[in-house]
């Protein structure tokens, strides 16, 4: 891993950005209008929270604070997955789109968990 000067340098942030962009460009535009203030709003908020929490934690410049915000991001990542499963169950999101999202989700989740582990190890030093 190279030098990390900005939160945008973090691989977990990059993966969550991919997740956020997928949700906002591929999923929410196709959802029914009546879901605008229900599922669409919740999905956008959760997807934006994945990157925003990583950025906020990075800006705290403290390992334990940073780790707390990574865990918040992980929660939002899982929330996005749950919303897409709901959309799939209700016939608004195809099986293929859900599968595509799962690939992005797994990458973001693995990188975020790895970063959280790194922060926990570093805090103990």
Q: What is the pLDDT of residue 125?
A: 67
Average pLDDT per block of 10 residues along the chain, 125 residues long:
86 98 97 94 98 96 90 98 98 98 98 94 78
Classify each residue of 105-117 as buried b or exposed e, where b means 16 or more C-beta atoms within 10 Å of its C-beta. Answer: bebbbebbeebbe
Nearest to 40 by CA among 54, 25, 56: 25
What domains does the chain contain, in order, with CATH numbers? 7-124 (1.20.1440.60)
Q: What is the pLDDT of residue 1?
A: 52
Q: Residue 111: which residues within 8 A CB-CB, separation 6 or more?
A: 11, 12, 15
Rounded to an integer, what distance in angstroms lies between the CA atom of residue 35 and that of residue 44? 12
Q: What is the pLDDT of residue 4?
A: 86
């Amino acid at each position: 891993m190279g030098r990390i000067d900005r939160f945008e340098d973090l691989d977990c942030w990059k993966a969550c950005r991919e997740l956020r962009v997928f949700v906002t460009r591929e999923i929410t535009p196709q959802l029914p209008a009546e879901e605008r203030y229900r599922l669409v709003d919740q999905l956008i908020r959760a997807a934006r929270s994945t990157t925003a929490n990583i950025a906020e934690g990075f800006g705290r410049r403290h390992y334990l604070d940073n780790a707390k915000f990574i865990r918040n991001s992980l929660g939002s990542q899982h929330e996005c997955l749950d919303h897409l499963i709901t959309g799939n169950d209700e016939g608004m999101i195809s099986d293929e789109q859900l599968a595509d999202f799962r690939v992005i989700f797994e990458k973001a989740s693995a990188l975020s968990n790895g970063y959280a582990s790194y922060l926990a190890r570093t805090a103990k030093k």
